[in-house]
Structure 1
Amino acid sequence: MLTRFFNYFEESFLNILISAMTILVFAEVIARFFFNVGFLWIQELTLTIAGWFVLFGMSYGVKVGAHIGVDALVKKLPPTTRKYTALLAISVCLVYCSLFLVGSWDYLKQMYHIGVPMEDIKFPVAWVAGLDADKLWDLWRIDVEDPRVPVWMSQSILLFGFIMLTWRFVELFIAILRNQSQGFSFHDEAKESMQLAEEAVSHGKSHNNNHSDPQVKP
């Protein structure tokens, strides 16, 4: 039940992020080309959402096999060797995630203590006006007089994203140990391109047959 809920939340959140990014870019283009005005906060927010989409989507890509990899050699290995090769690869990935988790924690901790704000994205003044200024700064690092969003908030996805990615790698590691999976599943661009090419050729042949002139028999 919990896994199903998380999977639904994961896909829904990614859809919300990509939809919000599309709407913001569209609004910025309309404002610039038709009204000759620009909004700096839209640019910064779009970049932030793009970062969230990529870092949040890393773990989802592992789950659905959307990442691109080179497995031509691994596929030729015997099943047992392939299993241990996959376990070794995941172990390396877990070390990589651990390094980023430590680095992300140190970076966000420094940003929190210093209280560095973003350049153009602010909280609504009416929302922070009635709050206690000291508590707001001590807890969230938000300045009531200039309520810009703290950097540690906008970039907290660094920590969350790699926690989720680590979780997916651990899940895959356990699945391989239990012989429930053979290893990483990658997105095959070559296979997809061949399928699209075959569909295009089939569609072209069908189109030509439908528009060919009927032969007149004597």
Structure 2
Amino acid sequence: MFSKSSSFFEESFISLLLVSMTLLVFTEVVARFLFNVGFLWLEEVTLTLGAWFVLFGASYGVKVGAHIGVDAFVQALPEKARKLTAVTAVILCLCYCSLFLYGSWVYLAKMYSIGITMEDIYLPQIFIELFDEDTLWDIFRIDAEEPLMPLWISQSILFIGFILLFYRFFQLLLQVLSGKASGFKFADEAEESMHLIQEDEQADIHSEKNATSDNAQSNDDQTEEKR
């Protein structure tokens, strides 16, 4: 139940990010070329959403096997060697995520301590009115007189995204060690292409059968009319 709810949330969130980026870019293009009007904040929002989309989607890609990989050499190895290779690869991925987790934490901590803000995105006034000036600065690093979005909030996906990636790789490591998985799941373009071809062939055969059946029925009807 939790797995289904988690997958639904992830898919919905990724779809929302993609749709939002598409609408923002479309709005910017229409406004700029048809009405000669530009919105400075649109580009910054789109870039931020793009970063969230990529890093959030990367962890989901590990979960569903959407990443493309070449495993011809690994598949040629004996079973024990394949398992050892898979465990080694996952551990290296965990080390990679750990390095980026540390780096992103240090980076966000500096952004927070300095109080750097985004250039064109302002926070809504209704949010500013919820807190006094000291609280806004001490907790969120927001200047009440010029309430620009703090950079540490928009770029927190660096830390969140690699936490999710670390979690997915750790899940995969447990599955490999327990024998529930043999290694990484990859998107096999050749296999998908063959599957699509088979579906097209089955659809053609089904269409031919329907056409033959319709022709036979039409001939029967004509024979009945002649009688």
Question: TM-score higher than 0.5 here?
Answer: yes
CA distance in 1, matches of 2:171, 2:143: 41
Whole-angstrom distance in 1 between the partners of 2:34 and 2:187: 40
Letter in 1 for 2:71: D
Which structure's CA Rg is the greater one? 2
CA distance in 1, matches of 2:57, 2:158: 12
Scaled by the length of structure 1, the TM-score of the pair is: 0.87
Contact residue 65 and residue 184 of structure 1 kept, 8 A: yes
Measured in 1, the distance between the counterparts of 2:114 and 2:142 equals: 11
TM-superposition CA deviations, 1:119-146 (whole Å, max 9, x none): 1111123542463011101100111111
Q: State the partner residue of 2:152.
A: 152
Aligned to 1:121: 121
Counterparts in 2 of 1:121 and 1:196: CA distance versus 1, 3 Å:
same
SS in 1 for 2:72: coil
Of 79-88 and 127-136, the range deviating more from structure 2? 127-136
For 2:66 and 2:164, locate their aligned partners in 1 and report how far apart those are by CA, in whole Å: 16
**Residue identity opposite 1:60 in structure 2:** Y
After TM superposition, give the deviation of residue 173 of structure 1 in Å: 0.5
Residue of structure 1 equivalent to 2:220: none
Whether the 8 Å contact between 1:129 and 1:144 is mirrored in structure 2 is no
The within-5 A match list for 1:56-95 is 56-95=56-95
Q: Deviations over 1:18-45 (max 9, x none)?
A: 1111111111111111111011101110
TM-score, normalised to structure 2, is 0.84
User: What are the within-5 Å matches in structure 2 for residues 96-115 of structure 1?
Assistant: 96-115=96-115
Identity %: 56
Equivalent residue of 1:73, what SS?
helix
Amino acid across the alignment from 1:121: I
Alignment partner, residue 34 of structure 1 = 34
Cα drift, residue 196 of structure 1: 5.1
Distance 2:37 2:116 in 1: 28
Unaligned runs of at least 5 residues, structure 1:
211-218
AA aligned opposite 1:66: A
In 2, are the aligned partners of 1:25 and 1:46 still within 8 Å (CA)?
A: yes
Which deviates the most, 98-107 or 2-11? 2-11
Q: Indicate conservation of the 8 Å contact 1:122/1:148, yes or no.
A: yes
Q: State the distance in 1 between where 2:6 and 2:192 align.
A: 29
Report the secondary structure of 1:161's partner residue.
Answer: helix
Kept after mapping to 2: 8 A contact 1:61/1:67: yes
SS of alignment partner, residue 44 of structure 1:
helix
Could you tell me which residue of structure 2 aligns to residue 184 of structure 1? 184
Segments of structure 2 that go 5 or more residues without pairing to the other structure are: 212-227
